[in-house]
Amino acid sequence: MSDKSKKDKSQTNLKGARHYFFLNPYGYMAFSRCPKCEEKTKIRKCCLLIHVEPNFLLSLNKSCGYCPTCDLIIVKQADLERLLIAICEQNAPDIIGNEYFVYGTMDRKAWRNGQTEKVSHQEAIKCSYPFKDIWKFEVSPAGWYPEKQVKAEIEKYPDSV
């Protein structure tokens, strides 16, 4: 328990926090296995709430990688940014390329309301859940998987090597 106390200032203590989040910057890595526990990840639809600087808030209903064991949501950064650009082109073209962060998830119901009604930032934040924490994983150039698994992948997909 002692090392948990160090995390007092992280999002872990936020009320209603749900899920851990990993924004995957490695376009070539699908993370079909969880980078933390190496269990197979599932695909799950998540309603993500995203803040784009300076003050644009948008929600996305998107298929994400999900590890039920770790409660970890994995989103490919390139996919997310492609969607962000598409949305901003229609709604706020001048903020394309600005800093953004994924705040958390929303209930599907709240998300649907947001699609049909104008919802204020405050309301959107109120019916969403911040992430418990944001995780980062480093991938070494040699590859992520232990040697045994890499070999298995090569045997399965001989053409891709």
Q: Is 69 in the site for Zn ion (CB under 5 A)?
A: yes
Using CB under 5 A as the binding rule, the residues of this chain from 10 to 39 that contact Zn ion are 34, 36-37
**To the nearest whole angstrom, how small is the minimum distance from the Cβ of residue 33 to Zn ion?**
8
Q: Which two tokens stand for residue 80?
A: 């997310």
Task: Give the DSSP H or E segment for 42.
Answer: strand 42-52
Choosing from 47, 70, 110, 124, the residue that interacts with Zn ion (CB under 5 A) is: 70
Taking CB under 5 A as the binding criterion, the range among 21-29, 42-50, 55-63, 69-77 that sits at the site for Zn ion is: 69-77
Beta carbon of residue 41, minimum distance to Zn ion (angstroms, whole number): 7
**Residues that contact Zn ion, how many (by CB under 5 A):** 6
User: In terms of Cα–Cα distance, which of 84, 46, 88 is closest to 64?
Assistant: 46
With contact defined as beta carbons under 8 Å apart, do 20 and 71 qualify?
A: yes
Beta pairing partners, 46: 62
Minimum CB separation of residue 67 from Zn ion in Å reads: 3
Nearest CA among 44, 26, 56, 20 for reference residue 132? 20
Contacting positions for Zn ion (CB under 5 A):
34, 36-37, 67, 69-70
